[in-house]
Each structure stands twice: as C-alpha cells, then as structure tokens.
C-alpha cells in the first residue's frame, strides 16, 4: 500500500527527523516521495534535511501533494497547525492525517480538519530511527481499516506496531514513548556497577546494552512471563538472587512502575 504514496512529515524536530530518517534508512519510501517541513532551519543543532528528501518551510505546500500527512509537532502546536492547513485548503484532497502528538486526541484534530478527513493517532518512539521502534496506533472516527492499514504499513517499516483503543494512548506515551529514556538510565546504572568493579566504562556499557537486547528478545520470542525467565537465571543461593534482593530492597519494581504511571499522568496534561 505504501509503494508510491507521497508522505509529508510536518515538523522536523526529534521525532520528525527520527521518522523521516527511519523511513529513508528502511528504504520504505524513496527520498523524492518524502517531504519534510520545519518552522526554522537550524543546521547547527543537527536539523539538516536528509539527503534527497525535499525540505520545505511551508506546511501547506507539503501537505497539498501528500497522500499521508504526519504531524510531528508538539502537543501545544499540533491543533493550530492542522487548522492552518485546513484553512489554506491544503487538505481538501482528504489525505490520511497521522498525528504523533502526545495528549491530543483524534477528536480534537477532526474538529478542525475538513469534514471526512481520516485521522490516525500514533505513538512511536526514538528507536524508530534504527528500525527498532514501537508504535501504537489508534484510529479516529473517520479512519477506515484501509487507513489504519496504511498507517500500520508506514510505522512497520521502522519497528513493531500495535493497534489499541485510543483511551490507552497516554499510558502508551508514559511507557513505550518515554521508555527508551528509562532504559538508558537503567543501562547507565548497571554499567556503573561494572565500572565500580573495575571495568572500563565503554566495556561495561557494551556488556549491558547487548545483555539488554538479548533479554528483551527473549521476552518477545519466547512469550514467557519475565518472572519465569528471571527464575531460569536465578540459581538457589547464587549471585543473581543476591543482586536481585538488593534491588528489591531499593524498591526497584515500584520505582519503575510508578515512574511509568507518573509519566503517563503527565503525558495526559501535555496539550494544556
């Protein structure tokens, strides 16, 4: 379905770059079919256009020629930008509009878009840049299975995709969208333990990163409960259970779970 579709990525910040970069890297769309827009060109902060990708300063021009318009804007900006596109007639051809903004529901966008415009809400994460993303999709009222399929195909080129009811999107934001930062913190902390024992930082980080990758793959591939996989590693009276008990003393589970809960609660407020 994606084949010859033209994609406009509106907003060339962290996620606009991540998504556009991921799509180009995955060869999901030819660069000439991808248009990105930004409010300000700031090459010095890494906001350079991707090779071959058309970069426009004008959102309306980008949207006019697109089959899929992906709004990669901050929650506080996205509705106004969508309304501006609608006012300029840039969505009169009723492209699929995908918004990755946290906190902004499909209804808020539908309210400012031309009647009948299909909207899909997506919550990706930064590993989309390397094809290992996790994206959750939720369909708006006017999005059909075909629109959802198109959005699925788009994000599947940069990682895994799940479809959920829109009521879960704030939770997803606090879990899989904020999650890479949580895991980076855990990786750094575990590596600290290795450094404390004398490993060079780079070696410790590599060990932890590859271990994290392997552990995550085991969860996905085996479908086993993580507790069962943990038990497999935990020899009675061994070193692993000794380490786990120290972590449990530090309330590691509730700290991580409450971190996600709080991130989700804050995510829900981001549009205000």
Ligand X SMILES: NC(=O)c1ccc[n+]([C@@H]2O[C@H](COP(=O)([O-])OP(=O)(O)OC[C@H]3O[C@@H](n4cnc5c(N)ncnc54)[C@H](OP(=O)(O)O)[C@@H]3O)[C@@H](O)[C@H]2O)c1
Stretch that binds ligand X, among 31-39, 113-121, 157-165, 192-200 (CB under 6 A): 31-39
Cα-based distances in Å from 102 to 106, 172, 230: 11, 10, 33
From 35, 101, 139, 263, residue interacting with ligand X (rule: CB under 6 A): 101
**Which of left, alpha, beta for 208 (phi over 0: left; psi -120 to 50: alpha)?**
alpha
CB atoms within 10 A of CB 205: 18
Indicate whether 53 belongs to the interface with ligand X (CB under 6 A): no
Options 99-107, 143-151, 158-166, 195-203: segment touching ligand X (CB under 6 A): 99-107
Name beta bridge partners: 37. 10, 56
Q: Single out the residue of 2, 7, 9, 12 in contact with ligand X (rule: CB under 6 A).
A: 12
| Chain Cα centroid distance, residue 151 | 13
Q: Is 39 in the site for ligand X (CB under 6 A)?
A: yes
Work out how close the CB of 89 gets to ligand X at its nearest, in angstroms, rounded to a whole number.
17
d(CA 176, CA 239): 30
Using the rule CB under 6 A, give the single segment among 8-16, 138-146, 156-164, 226-234 that binds ligand X.
Answer: 8-16
**Residue 204, SS3 per DSSP:** helix
Query: In the set 22, 118, 124, 159, which binds ligand X (CB under 6 A)?
Result: 124
Q: How far is CA 2 from the centre of its chain?
A: 19
# residues near ligand X by CB under 6 A: 26
CA distance 86 to 162: 29
Q: Which stretch binds ligand X (CB under 6 A): 37-45, 139-147, 157-165, 237-245?
A: 37-45
Interface residue with ligand X among 10, 53, 62, 90 (CB under 6 A) is: 10
- Asked if 105 is part of the footprint of ligand X (rule: CB under 6 A), the reply reads no
Q: Is 81 in the site for ligand X (CB under 6 A)?
A: yes
Cβ proximity of 3 and 21 under 8 Å: no
The binding site for ligand X (CB under 6 A) comprises 10-16, 37-40, 59, 72-75, 77, 81, 100-102, 123-126, 177
């Amino acid at each position: 379905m994606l084949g010859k579709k033209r994609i406009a990525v509106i907003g060339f910040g962290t996620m606009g770059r991540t998504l556009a970069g991921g799509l180009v890297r995955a060869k999901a769309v030819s660069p000439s079919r991808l248009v990105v827009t930004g409010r300000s060109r700031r090459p010095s902060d890494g906001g350079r256009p991707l090779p071959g990708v058309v970069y426009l300063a004008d959102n309306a021009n980008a949207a006019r020629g697109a089959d899929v318009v992906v709004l990669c804007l901050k929650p506080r900006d996205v509705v106004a930008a969508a309304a501006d596109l609608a006012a300029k007639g840039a969505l009169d051809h009723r492209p699929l509009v995908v918004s990755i903004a946290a906190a902004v529901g499909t209804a808020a966008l539908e309210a400012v878009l031309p009647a009948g415009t299909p909207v899909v809400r997506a919550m990706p994460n930064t590993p989309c840049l390397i094809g290992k993303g996790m994206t959750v999709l939720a369909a708006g009222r006017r999005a059909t299975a075909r629109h959802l399929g198109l959005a699925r195909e788009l994000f599947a080129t940069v990682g895994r995709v799940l479809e959920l009811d829109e009521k879960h999107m704030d939770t997803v934001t606090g879990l899989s969208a904020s999650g890479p930062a949580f895991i980076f913190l855990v990786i750094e902390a575990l590596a600290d333990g290795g450094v404390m024992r004398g490993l060079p930082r780079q070696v410790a980080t590599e060990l932890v990163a590859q271990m994290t990758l392997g552990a995550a793959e085991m969860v996905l591939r085996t479908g086993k409960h993580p507790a069962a996989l943990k038990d497999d590693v935990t020899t009675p009276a061994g070193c692993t259970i000794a380490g786990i008990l120290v972590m449990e003393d530090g309330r590691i589970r509730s700290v991580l779970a409450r971190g996600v809960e709080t991130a989700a609660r804050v995510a829900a407020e981001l549009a205000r």
